Amino acid sequence: MSDTPAPDETRPTESVADRSKEFDTAVQIGRMVLKVARERTDNRYSMPYLDSQQFPQDAINAINTKPDGTVTEENVATAKQATVSLAIEAAAQIAEAQAPRGAGVREEISSLEGVLTLVKRGHGLLIQTEAQNPQFVLQGSREAIARRQKVQPDQVKLSDDELKKWAEENFQRSGHRLTKSVQAVNDYLRR
């Protein structure tokens, strides 16, 4: 008889490890959103892009709560839902941000690149989550739109396809905008 465990014997450990990794990845992206928002505000860059006060408090609380003991599927789902909600809000804020008029440019390339990385990772998680649990994307989009319209989420009357499109367009617009900003600052620094 072999000393190698049967496939069924190794699954629970791998499953716990996989869940823990998934949870850590989701929480890391969510915390990155908050960290970048805080840094951009604290350093008073000419385009802060992100307003920490506009992020949903329940999502912030969810990514800052550590599970007791073993990471469960519910912990992973909560972390992903919270992070998707934060990422959707961040993408929308970046896409909507307006530069202050008449102010000088005060930017740091590494900070702009950090915001761009945040958008790319958030978009990647959005795509992954949409394939696994599209309700998280729909709910995050509906809530972000509701905050902008100053209404309750159930008053947002958009179809599922329109909600998905709204989120996707914000990620595309914010990524394009940040890529252009990074390029412009790099061009300026090379003068």
Residues 157-180, mean pLDDT to the nearest whole number: 94
Can you tell me the mean pLDDT for 141-151? Answer: 95
Q: What is the pTM of this model?
A: 0.81
CA neighbor of 33 nearest in space, from 109, 110, 91 = 91
Tell me the torsion sign for CA atoms 24, 26, 29, 30.
negative
pLDDT of residue 44 exceeding 90: no
Contacts of residues 131-138 at CB distance under 8 Å and 24 or more positions apart, as own/partner, are 133/77, 133/80, 133/81, 134/160, 134/164, 136/77, 136/80, 136/81, 136/84, 136/85, 137/84, 137/88, 137/163, 137/164, 137/167, 138/163, 138/164
- Is the distance from CB of 45 to CB of 111 less than 8 angstroms? yes
- Per-residue pLDDT of 71-88, as tens digits, reads 999 999 999 999 999 999
The model's confidence at residue 120, banded by pLDDT at 50, 70 and 90, is very high
Q: How confident is the model at residue 27 (pLDDT cuts 50, 70, 90)?
A: very high
Distance CA(36)–CA(118), nearest Å, equals 8
Residue 37 burial class via C-beta count within 10 angstroms: exposed 0-12, middle 13-18, buried 19 and up: buried
**CA–CA separation, 25 vs 8, rounded Å?**
26
